[in-house]
Homo-oligomer: A and B are copies of this chain.
Amino acid sequence: MLKITRKAEYALIALRHLNNIKDGELATVKEISTQYGIPQELLAKALQQLARAKLIEATKGPYGGYKLVTDPNEINMTKFFEILEGPMGIMDCSFDSGCNQLNACNIRTPINRINDSIRTIFDKLTLADITY
C-alpha cells in the first residue's frame, strides 16, 4: 500500500533536478532521462502533465527544455500527486466511484478520517521540503 507510481517518482526526480539547475537554464527530457536512467518517453509524459498544470514551463526547439516556474514552497505534495495520479485517498467512497457498498459499509466514516489525516501531511509537505 501507499506505493506511488513510477511516473510520479520520475517526476519528483525531475522536479528536484529542475530545482537545482542554475537560474535561467533549461533541462531537456533527454538529459534528465539519461542522467537518472529513466525511460525517456515516460518521463516526457510526466513533464508534459506538470507543464499543463503550470508547475514547469516548456520551451520548444533546439536549446529548449523545461524550467521550474513555481516556487517550490508553493507546490505541495497533494497538488503534485493529484496532477499525476488523480484524486488522493486510501479509498473513494463516493457515489460516482460506483461503490456498491455505501449502505452496508461500516467503515466509511473512519476511512474518511484516515484520508483526512494523510491529506493533511501531504498538504504540509512541499517540493521545497523534498528538494532542500
Contact = CB atoms under 8 A, between A and B. Distances in A.
Interface of A: 1-5, 8-9, 12-13, 16-17, 35-37, 77, 81, 85, 88-91, 100-101, 104-107, 110-111, 113-115, 117-118, 121, 125, 129-132
Contact of A90 (B2, B37, B114): B2
Given A17-B106, A107-B130, A4 B91 contact: yes
Nearest to A124: B117
Given A37-B101, A118-B118, A121-B118, A1 B107 contact: no
Copies in the complex: 2
A31 to B, nearest CB: 13
A1 B12 contact: no
A2 B89 contact: yes
Nearest to A118: B2
B90 A35 contact: no
B90 A3 contact: yes
14 contacts: A1-B85, A3-B90, A4-B91, A9-B91, A12-B107, A13-B107, A16-B106, A16-B107, A35-B104, A110-B131, A113-B129, A117-B125, A118-B118, A118-B121
Nearest to A100: B37
